[in-house]
Amino acid sequence: MALICTGTIGIDTVYTPHGHREKILGGSCTYFAAAASFYGPVRIVAAAGDDFPAEFHKTLKSFAGIDTTGLEIRKGSKTFAWGGKYLENMNSRETLFTELGVLGERPPEVPAAFADSQYIFLANSHPGVQLGMLNSLPKRRFAVADTMDLWINIARAELDLLLTKIDGLVLNYDEAELLTGKSNTVAAARAILHMGPKFVVVKKGEHGCLLVHKDGIAALPAYPTETVIDPTGAGDSFAGGMMGHIASHGMKTSQATSFNVLRESLAHGTVIASFNIESFSLDRLSKLTRAELDKRYAEYVSMVRV
Sole binder of a second copy in the list 89, 98, 135, 153 (CB under 8 A): 89
Q: Is 149 in the site for a second copy (CB under 8 A)?
A: no
Sole binder of a second copy in the list 20, 85, 93, 190 (CB under 8 A): 190
Closer of 33 and 202 to a second copy (Cβ) = 202
Q: Measure the CA–CA gap between 63 and 59, rounded to whole angstroms.
A: 7
Closer of 113 and 298 to a second copy (Cβ) = 298
Contact 296, 274 (CB under 8 A): yes
Q: Measure the CA–CA gap between 91 and 80, rounded to whole angstroms.
A: 24
Near a second copy by CB under 8 A, which window of 31-39, 56-64, 129-137, 214-222?
214-222
Ordered strands of the 168-172 beta sheet:
66-74, 42-49, 3-6, 119-122, 142-146, 168-172, 199-203, 209-213, 216-220
Largest CA distance in the chain: 57
Tell me how far, at minimum, the Cβ of 271 lies from a second copy, in Å.
10
Contacts of 107 (CB under 8 A, 6+ apart): 47, 125, 129, 132, 133
Q: Which residues partner with 47 through β-bridges? A: 72
Closer of 101 and 231 to a second copy (Cβ) = 231
Q: Is 283 in the site for a second copy (CB under 8 A)?
A: no
Tell me how far, at minimum, the Cβ of 224 lies from a second copy, in Å.
5
Q: Which region, left, alpha or beta, applies to residue 217 given φ > 0 means left and ψ of -120 to 50 means alpha?
A: beta
Contact 233, 29 (CB under 8 A): no
Sole binder of a second copy in the list 23, 85, 249, 263 (CB under 8 A): 263
Q: Is 192 in the site for a second copy (CB under 8 A)?
A: no
Sole binder of a second copy in the list 45, 267, 272, 273 (CB under 8 A): 267
Catalog residues that contact a second copy under the rule CB under 8 A.
88-90, 183-187, 190, 204, 206-208, 210, 216-226, 228, 263-264, 267, 300-301, 303-306
